[in-house]
Amino acid sequence: MVIGVCILTATTQVAFAQSNPQWETPLIKGYGPIKDYKNAAIQPDKKLDYKVVFKITSDKTKDGVNNKLWHMARLMNLLYVGDIKKSNTHIVGVIAGKATSIVLNNEAYKKRFHKNNPNLDLLKKLAEHGAKIYVCDQALAEHNIKQNDTNKYIKKSLSAIIDIPTYVLKGYALIP
């Protein structure tokens, strides 16, 4: 009887662990946590080339960082656990509007907001894992941000209203 209960308990624990995985950040450490549900109806497709562009225009935050950057990390974590090759992962972020200040280097951010830029570590990790992150030069000008006040993980582009349609026309899915 005791052995039967132990086996039942162990089986139940294994089944629960498989149906309720732990939160993890396997690629972009510390950001965009995921639960890897192996039995979900739709999984990342290894035959696809994942081309995704994020429109980052809000200053909304999640877990202390920009909400859209956080979601970029989540997508990259999901693709990673789905065994999508790095060569088949093309993630782009285009920053403009109210989100523009996240591109400031730490010194410039401190001058404006009297605290460290909380997005720098995430921007670094996204860039290190292949994400391309652009800031709209028009937005920099509108927000009185000098070109040399941006951090090293950001590339400058002429305009977000050129970037977004350019990437969409190249076959990238838009996350607005």
pLDDT in tens, 32-62: 999 999 999 999 999 999 999 999 999 999 9
Mean pLDDT of the chain, nearest integer: 93
Question: What does the pLDDT read at residue 33?
Answer: 99
CATH code: domain of residue 25? 3.40.1260.10
Q: Is residue 169 part of a domain?
A: yes
Q: Is residue 87 part of a domain?
A: yes
Residue owning tokens 């939160």? 23
Quick one: tokens of 175?
A: 């996350």
Asked whether 127 and 95 are in contact (CB, 8 A), the reply is no
Q: Is residue 35 part of a domain?
A: yes
In the chain, the amino acid numbered 36 is: D
Asked whether 151 and 104 are in contact (CB, 8 A), the reply is yes
Q: Is residue 3 part of a domain?
A: no
Q: Which residues of the chain have pLDDT under 70?
A: 1-19
Q: Is residue 52 part of a domain?
A: yes
Domain that holds residue 113: 21-175
pTM, full prediction? 0.89
Question: What does the pLDDT read at residue 42?
Answer: 98
Question: What does the pLDDT read at residue 18?
Answer: 56
Q: Is residue 8 part of a domain?
A: no
- Number of domains forming the structure of the chain: 1
- Sign (positive/negative) of CA torsion 116, 118, 123, 128? positive
Q: Is residue 14 part of a domain?
A: no
Question: What does the pLDDT read at residue 20?
Answer: 82
Q: Is residue 9 part of a domain?
A: no
pLDDT in tens, 64-75: 999 999 999 999
Question: What does the pLDDT read at residue 8?
Answer: 44
